[in-house]
Chain A
Amino acid sequence: MSEYNFKEVMSKPERLAPGHRMCAGCGATIAVRAVLRALHEGDQAVIGNATGCLEVSSFTYPYTAWEDSYIHNAFENAGSTLSGVETAYKALKKRGRLPEDVNYKFITFGGDGGTYDIGFQSLSGAMERGHDMVYVCYDNGAYMNTGIQRSSATPMYADTTTTPVGSQSNGKMQNRKDLASIIADHDVPYVAQTTMIGNFSDLHAKAEKAIYTEGAAFLNIMTPCPRGWRYDPSEVMKICKLGVETCYWPMFEVDHGKWRLTYEPKKKLPIEDFLREQGRFKHLFKPGNEDLLVQFQAEVDRRWEDLQYKCARDN
C-alpha cells in the first residue's frame, strides 16, 4: 500500500460525479467518494448498490452519476448480485473473453437497512463464499430512504419514526447489532470499521486494503444523516469526529483475523458530546433522563473495552 498523500489523493478524478441528488451534509456521499479514491488509476470497477438513498439519488433514469459500470438490482441482494458479477468476471477471464491485462474490482454499497437487516443473508452468503469483492455498508443507523425507521444499526434511545419518543417511550429499546464483528466471524480476509475524520487517511487506507486484498472484504463506515440524526448539514465532519473521540464509533480493522485499533483517542470524550449534537437524542437531555445517559455511556464503555481486549490480545 502506498504512502498517503492527502493532496494527491484528493486531486484524483471523481468516480461519483457531481449532479447526483443526495442531501447536503450527507455522510454517505462523502464515504462513497472516499472509497472510490482508493481504486488505483487504470483499474476498472463494477459498483453494486442496494436500493436506498444512494441508489435513487445517483441513478435516476436517464442519468447516472457513476463513472464506472454500476448495477442496482434490489434492496436485499447487493451481496449476491455482485457475487454474480464477480463470478462472471472469472468466467469471462478464464474463457479469454476479456483481455489479460484488464483488472476489474468489485465494490458494492448498501445502507444499514440493506446490509444489517434485509440484505443480511445475501451479504453473509457472499462473504462466506469468499467472492473477491468489497461490501461497503454506509451506516447511518436507520432506514433513512423510507423516512427514518429504526434498524438493527440504530443505537439505543434514538428517536426514529418507528421508535418515536413519547410519554411511554424513550426511543429505541435495543442496542445496536455489531455487524463488523459478525462479518469478522465469517473469517473473511479483511474487515474494517471507519468514518470520515481528519485527512481521511484512515478511510483511504482501509478502502485500499479492502479493495486490494484478495477475497471478500467488508467496510463499515459511519455516515451521519442530517435528516435522521437532525444536525446542521455543515456539522457532518464534526459529528464524525465526536463519534470517534467518544468511542461510540471506534476505528479498527480485522486483517486476516488479527484485530487492531487504528485510532485511539488521546482523551475519551463523554458520550454526551456526541449525543448533544443530534436532535434524535434531544430527549436524553431532559431533566429526569440522566439515567438513560448513564446507560448509554455504560454500553459504549462495555463495547470499547471488549474491542480493546481483542486488539491487545492480537498485538
Chain B
Amino acid sequence: MAIRERMSGNEAVSYAIKQINPDVMPAFPITPSTEIPQMVSNYIANGEIDTEFIPVESEHSSMSAAIGAEAAGARSLTATSSAGLAFMWEELLLAASNRMPVALALVNRTLSGPLNINCDHTDGMGARDTGWIQIYAENNQEAYDNFIQAYPIAEHKDVRLPIMICQDGFITSHAVENILLLEDDVVKKFVGEYTPEEYLLQPGKPMAVGPYAVSNYVMEARKNQLIALKNAKQVILDVAKDFSEISGRSYGLFEEYRTQDADYIMVIMGSAAGTAKEAVDQMREEGHKVGVLKIRVFRPFPAEEIAEALKNARAVAIMDRAESYNGNGGVLGCEIKAGLFQKKYMVDTVNYIYGLGGRDFTVAHTMQIFHQLSDMVENGTEVEQYAYVGIRN
C-alpha cells in the first residue's frame, strides 16, 4: 500500500536514500542540496540506516571518495548543487570512464556570477559531456521515483555508468507537496543488493583501477563508454516498466502532455513543466491546440524520439533554463534542432532562455510564447529565434 505523505523534494530524495540504505555516502554541503546529507546523517544518528557517511572537506573529495568506495565494491552516492558539481567536474568524468555506477542527487542551481543560490540548469548542463546519465524531475514525486530507479539503471550490466537524479533547487527541493511513498520492503526488493563482478576488496583477486593508457587505447575506451550510455536508453525504459508495476506510475524518456493533435508544442525540462501544463490546460479550454513535451532523460539524449514526437507540430518552443554561450541557442535548443535536421523534419522552432537564477516562469509567459508561435506561423510575424523570456530592456 502506498503511503500518503507531504514532503519537499529534498525530503523525498532523502527518504528514498533511507529506504535504499546504500553503503557509503561522502558529501559536502551546498545550498540548496544541503538538507540531503543532513537528513541522511540524522537517519544514521538515529540508527534508522547504517550507511557509512564521510563528511569530506569538498565536493571534489566527495566524488573522489564515492569513486573509491564504488571501486571497492560499495554502493555509493553523494548530493550536490551548482559550484559543488562544477568543482567535481573532473571527477564526474572519472566516475563515468571508470564505469562506476555512483548515484548523485543534483539539486539544480545556477553558477556564479553573480553569486546566486536559486534554480536554473547551468550546473547540470555544464556536466552534459561527462558521460553521466541525467534524469530530471518535475516535482517531488518524480524526484523520489527517479531516485528509486537510479541504481537498477546505473548498475545494470549493460550500462555500469554513474547517474544524476536532478530536481530544481528550491522550487522542487524546498516546496512541500503531497507525495505517494512506497513501502520499505518494496523499495528494497526493487533496488536489490549491489553485486559487482569485480572490485578492489576481493581477497586473493586483486584488481587495478584507473590506468594510464597510450593513444592506442583511448578511442576504444571512449567508444565502449558511449555504447554503454546508449544502452542506458533501453534499460531506463525497462526499469520504468518494472517501476510502474510496483507504483502504478509510468515513466518514459520524456512525457508528452496533450501533444497528440497539438499544432504548437513547448519542450521543457524540470519544474517549469508543471507551469507549462497548467497553461496548456487553460489554452485548450479556449480551443488552442497546444501541448508540452517534458524531457525526463537528458543523457542519453533521446534526440530521435523527440524529433518523431515533434514532427507534426507547426512550431515548437524549446525552453532552456541555462545559457550555453555558443551564441546560437541553449543546449536543448541546439540538440533538438540537430535531431530534427538529422531526421529531415523541417519544423519551425524558437529557442527561449528562461528562469535563470531563479527568475519566475509563469503561466502567462507560457501563453505568450504559444501566441508568439501561432503568430509566427499563421500571420508570418517575425519572431526572434533565440530569445530571453521576461527580460527587462
Contact = CB atoms under 8 A, between A and B. Distances in A.
A121 B57 contact: yes
Contact of A61 (B51, B56, B217): B217
B55 A74 contact: no
B118 to A, nearest CB: 28
B187 interface: no
A84 B72 contact: yes
Given A59-B211, A61-B212, A84 B217 contact: no
A77 B64 contact: yes
A263 interface: no
A77 B64 CA distance: 7
A122 B61 contact: yes
Contacts of B64: 73-74, 77, 80-81, 84, 122
A74 B201 contact: no
B94 A85 contact: no
A89 to B, nearest CB: 6
Interface string A63-78: 0101111111110110
A92 B210 contact: no
B25 to A, nearest CB: 9
Given A60-B214, A64-B211, A80-B60, A88 B68 contact: yes
Contacts of B71: 71, 84-85
B203 A102 contact: yes
Given A73-B64, A74-B91, A121-B57, A87 B208 contact: no
A105 B94 CA distance: 24
A59 B210 contact: yes
Interface in B192-246: 200-204, 206-214, 217
Interface string A87-120: 1111110110111001010000000000000000
Contacts of A56: 212
Given A69-B201, A77-B60, A85 B69 contact: yes
B13 interface: no
Given A84-B26, A84-B76, A88-B72, A122 B210 contact: no
Contacts of A60: 211-214
Contact of A125 (B57, B203, B211): B57
Contacts of A76: 60
A92 B23 contact: yes
Q: Which of B51, B69, B202 has the most CB of A within 10 A?
A: B69
A125 B61 contact: yes
Contacts of B24: 84, 87-88, 91
14 contacts: A48-B68, A55-B212, A61-B211, A61-B212, A69-B208, A70-B207, A77-B91, A83-B54, A84-B54, A84-B64, A84-B68, A85-B72, A90-B52, A99-B203
Given A77-B91, A84-B26, 5 more contacts: A44-B204, A60-B213, A85-B200, A87-B54, A88-B200
